[in-house]
Amino acid sequence: ETGVTQTPRHLVMGMTNKKSLKCEQHLGHNAMYWYKQSAKKPLELMFVYSLEERVENNSVPSRFSPECPNSSHLFLHLHTLQPEDSALYLCASSQEFETAYNEQFFGPGTRLTVL
């Protein structure tokens, strides 16, 4: 266990559904991240929050909407997804975003399948 939990672990949704992924960290960290992990591709950083403010947004389609209500929780709201959005979505946290040496702690991921 890394101290980062994600729910649900598996999610199947239709293209017209709306769902949310949840991430919670119990480490007292100030930075949280969403990554997309697809087969045969490097991990793609989607969003970064530092002290509940979004500091990175890597040209992610608007059908993905992040929310960080406090430093311990991070959500990824999903709507009108496409089949190519099927992937493993990983959440991570670190002490601070700006400190390059900081280790990132990852959650187990949510396996998303879009039908």
| Stretch touching other proteins by CB under 8 A, among 22-30, 36-44, 62-70, 76-84 | 36-44
Spatial neighbors of 91 by CB under 8 A, at least 6 apart, are: 4, 6, 21, 23, 25, 32, 33, 34, 35, 74, 106, 107, 109
Instruction: Report if residue 108 touches other proteins, rule: CB under 8 A.
Output: yes
Residues 45-64 as x/- pattern, contact with other proteins by CB under 8 A: x--x-------x-x------
CB atoms within 10 A of CB 79: 15
Binding other proteins (rule: CB under 8 A), the pick from 11, 90, 112, 114 is: 90
- The nearer residue to other proteins, 10 or 83, going by C-beta atoms, is 10
Contacts of 35 (CB under 8 A, 6+ apart): 43, 44, 45, 46, 89, 90, 91, 92
Binding site for other proteins (CB under 8 A): 1-2, 40-43, 45, 48, 56, 58, 88, 90, 92, 97-101, 103-104, 106-109
